[in-house]
Structure 1
Amino acid sequence: MFEKFTKISLLILSIFMSCCTSIKCQNKVDYSWILGTYNFENPNITIIKFNSDTILSVSAVKGDASVYTDAGLICDTDGNLKVIATNCAVMNSNFDTVSNSNLLKDRYLNYCQERNGAFWPFEQSVLVLPFIGDKNKFRILFTNTQSISTEQDSLRSFFYSYLNGAVIDFSKKEHGELINVWQRLYNDTITVSHITACKKDNNEDWWIILPMDGRPRYSILSYSIDTIEFFKKDCLGKIGFNNIDFEGQASFSPDRTKYARFNIANGLHLFDFDSKSGSLLNPRLIKLSVPPGNISGGLCFSPNSKYLYVFCDKLLYQLDVSNPDVESTKVLIDTLDLTSGKEYIASFNHGLLAPDGRIYISGIWDSKYLNVINSPNCKGKLCDLVQQAIPLPTKNSWGVPNYPHFRDRKDVPECPPDKTIEWSESNYKIEFKESFLTYDFKSSKPKSISFYELSGRLIKLIELTNSNGQINIEFLSNGYFIVKIVCNNRQYIEKIIKL
């Protein structure tokens, strides 16, 4: 009897370990991030290491190649970096270029001809995925680029590409070898940017989405244990991206029900996604008020897939994508604070959901900070955006890693109950009379009241001792301001005007 029980126990353990190998062991493959900038003389790189709760470390290393914009990365099962891929070079965990990495420099427009991997300007143009069925290999998907003028073809972007592939193999060489380089995976023309992927329902295979060049179409590829192959094209609506389609960011939601693509030049393109059939559905074009003079920007879904954050250089929006009327839900979370006195501040460009459940946001051009959304599952300003929250030891240009979602992120708690209470007129009363603000919080005792410019700069913070009272606001000039009142763990925020 004991022997039979032991055999059954071992069988169950074996099944469990098998599941761990195929699913659970992928849970830390995005636990290390790489950020950098174009510097072929001194390619210093920032490495950020996470656990499921917080950032563990931020440090600088020197690599054989520069990392510029959104690198393709993957870690081992313990969360340590395994592959760092740009479109110009592939490095291993020692930040050494792997064997045959130089073959990637064979490109049309000579972007990769400088020393140390040089300069590749196109965003989300490389993606690293597990090699299904072989833990010693990884697949690299990447674009090349060719240029075309509007006189030659008015429908095409300034740049276009095909999808290429390579494999990095650690089975024969400990430090890695690049094989099957420049394998043509898809022959129709696509944009040079926005390679994205999500898992299929079996949690092993993948869907890969490629925006078509110059058309409102998306090519969908299927990646299984045998091959990457064309699956279908979805032609959606009449409005696609214009010839500025190489900037911005695209992403799936963690639950794989939404797909979004954005840059400032083209607006937010939002779709439903059917992970069973691999179909994009219900196209929506959402216009946002954006600052002039920029074409980039980015986006990121919340862990619960309910909210979409859109990054517009100096503006940051939140939208509720669970609402049928998505556009009506947009909230301006904040504007970029230009008064901090810090050098190389990060604007709002690309965002990525981290292992700790927070969203980290890079800046445009060179910056030495990351912005962070601490509670992205919370509605409106309760999401707790902190600007310039994470100082970096090296400069970072434009991007964050181009990681797909390896898990559904149900591990991230929903918004805490004490943050979700909505204020109503029965909770408070605020009035403005001449140069005074009168407040009355009937059911709570406020702790403080703060006045902010629309840029986010703090004008004045006043500690409060009573649940009602009057404040002289002669220190405010005429115009619009943000008022924030903190009561215990709740906060009330309102836009006001002083005439």
Structure 2
Amino acid sequence: MIRNIIIWLFIICSGTSLLAQNRANIWELSYQNYGPNCGIDFNLGYADTFSVIRKLVFFITNSSICDTEGNILFYTNGQWIANRKGDSLKNCNKFNSGYLTDVYYGGEGGNGMSQGAIALPDPGNSNRYYLFYETAESFNNQQYGFTDYQPFYLSYSVIDITLDNGNGGIIKDKKNMHAVNDTLLYGMITACKHANGRDWWIAVHKYNSDQFYTFLIDSNGVSNANKQKVGPLIKPLDKVLDEYFETDNTGEAAFSPNGNYYVFVEVGYHVRLFDFDRCTGLFSNFREDSLPLLEQYDNSPLGCSFSPSSKYLYVSTYWHLFQYNLANTRLTDARDDIARYDYSLDSSHISFETLFAFQQIAPDNKIYMSPWNGNTSYDVIDEPDHPDSNANFLQNGLPLPIYSSNITNFPNYDLCPLASYTADAGNDTTIIKGQSVQLGIPTVVGVKYQWKSDSSLSDTTISQPIALPYSTTTYYLSITDTGTLSSCNVRIDTVTVYVDIADGILHHQNFSKDFYHISPNPAHDWLNIVYSTKDNAELELYNQFGQMVGSISLYPYFKNRMLNVATLPTGIYMYAIKQGRMIIQGAEVAIVH
């Protein structure tokens, strides 16, 4: 038997972890160059809003990370990085230089790129963090005849939190490094934990292409990017109602909390959903929904997120909030329009429509949605794991002390390793020809069993089939954890059933320990015992009445002994090999004259 003994976790947990890391507990928000800004603190288990005087303000790009105690470590708006004290992080000057950062938005008010940055813990060093980010350059798109602004690379810097007396800083030789050198879609940087629950996958999409780039961050650093062509060609312009829209000038991407799905939406009226393999970093099973134009120019998708259980997908446009039940394999049929923006709820204190925008699942398992035009409140999906109106959408559900129009970009820091069901086909065994034996171990709920097709098995799809082999046979079992879509949810084991026939193999030979090989079987005149042992042993032969009818000593300095059975009657006998009073091997042997 070959047993898979790789076990990645000791506590099996779901996409919403039982062991929260608190990395996403502080949300720094709002855009006020003069006066206080605001944020949300989840350290007490609920959304506790606060006002704060700080130098860094956010337009749209917003990324931060906390330590495992829920204390803020650093945060960025894509133009500069603030440390835990709110001062400039050491060596962050010009960390994301480019046309978008330095010219188009300029100053220090923040970049207008949704999901333009994301912060991840270094899997190999608890004092270090990766910050991935994009800027954009201006270029003439000759194919479509317009000036476009796109990232020409995905960059990253490594931040050591022990630098600058514990306030952190970018390591000098690990600043502004390129993970991808290619023209990319605008923002929508997101990440998902590898199936081992430690390393990270990051995914970005190539511009004017059907190609994804995915790469792994592990203890060795950032891997080379993998290229995968999957899904449709994402063109720079999309035509709707005789008018062209730049498809990626805003939008959002998200991995589901359990890591099984990836979705991205952009203003081209499309929702694009994929299965994701946490083991390989590959996408599959693409499906798409083209949103209906319920109101002219008002239904471009902007934001998306998944419910904590990953059963529901939410997509927000300016005016509508859609829920998708992912149990329905046809995405268009899974859509339900659960809310429409209600201006009357805002008209008492503002004179413009705030509308819906970007989404982020929070540590309290609610989904918060920022207002496109800014507001003194965020919208809330209060019960996102409930269907339809039971999700309890609350427009203006979370009052804020200050106007804000942005939301943080967090991955699921608490995603656990895949459950480590171990394949077990049972123990190797020896039988007499004509006998049967049960393989495997009792059924584990949530596991699919598949034995390699063999006519000697009673059933190839159950955990414990009956085997009736006519000769020595090795059986192959693969098990699949049905709770995940990843490729490493499949594990393999084997078991060998030795059949006592003329080849005489009664025991699997292991030359690193004592072994005894008895042949032939059936025997005629002699039993040949080939063996290797460090201690004296004795072979005793018994008839069907339990009477000893022969014996021979097996000394360590011999490798072969012969027992004369020529005078014994034809029949079935039992042999026992003993060391002292302990029987270390026994089986039946036939004698035929």
The question of a shared fold, defined as TM-score above 0.5 by the shorter chain, is answered with yes
Deviations 1:297-317 (A, max 9, x none): 111101111110110111001
Equivalent pair of 1:33/1:401 in contact (CA under 8 Å): yes
The answer as to 2:308 corresponding to 1:314 is no
Equivalent positions of 1:5-404 (< 5 A) are: 27-37=21-31, 39=32, 41-42=33-34, 44-51=36-43, 53-55=45-47, 57-104=48-95, 106-109=97-100, 110-111=102-103, 114-115=106-107, 117-151=108-142, 158-173=149-164, 174-179=166-171, 180-242=174-236, 243-290=246-293, 291-293=295-297, 295=300, 297-340=302-345, 341-344=347-350, 346-397=354-405, 399-404=406-411
**Secondary structure of 1:185's aligned partner:** strand
**Secondary structure of 1:389's aligned partner:** strand
Equivalent pair of 2:319/2:341 in contact (CA under 8 Å): yes
Give the deviation of 1:113 after TM superposition: 7.2
Equivalent pair of 1:105/1:112 in contact (CA under 8 Å): no
Equivalent pair of 2:150/2:184 in contact (CA under 8 Å): no
Mean CA deviation greater in 268-277 or 292-301: 292-301
Count, aligned residues: 387
Equivalent pair of 2:324/2:335 in contact (CA under 8 Å): yes
Deviations 1:68-125 (A, max 9, x none): 214111111111211112210111222222122222363234248744x223111101
Gaps of 5+ in 2: 1-8, 11-16, 237-245, 418-593
Distance 1:74 1:342, change over 3 A: farther
Give the deviation of 1:156 after TM superposition: 9.7
Task: Name the amino acid aligned to 2:192.
Answer: C
The answer as to 2:412 corresponding to 1:405 is yes
Task: Name the amino acid aligned to 1:176.
Answer: G
CA distance in 2, matches of 1:153, 1:42: 41
Distance 1:263 1:381, change over 3 A: same
Deviations 1:431-457 (A, max 9, x none): xxxxxxxxxxxxxxxxxxxxxxxxxxx
Distance 1:62 1:188, change over 3 A: same
Gaps of 5+ in 1: 1-14, 17-22, 411-499
Instruction: Kindly name which structure, 1 or 2, has the bigger radius of gyration based on alpha carbons.
Output: 2
Distance 1:206 1:75, change over 3 A: same
Deviations 1:268-313 (A, max 9, x none): 0111111122111111221112443355611110111111011011
**Secondary structure of 2:390's aligned partner:** helix
CA distance in 2, matches of 1:106, 1:264: 26
Give the deviation of 1:261 after TM superposition: 0.3
Structure with greater proportional helix content:
1
Once superposed, what is the RMSD of the aligned Cα atoms? 2.7
Equivalent pair of 1:353/1:360 in contact (CA under 8 Å): yes
Give the deviation of 1:241 after TM superposition: 4.9
CA distance in 1, matches of 2:225, 2:90: 32
Deviations 1:399-455 (A, max 9, x none): 311000112499xxxxxxxxxxxxxxxxxxxxxxxxxxxxxxxxxxxxxxxxxxxxx
TM-score, normalization: structure 2? 0.61
Deviations 1:179-209 (A, max 9, x none): 3221122212212311111000111101110
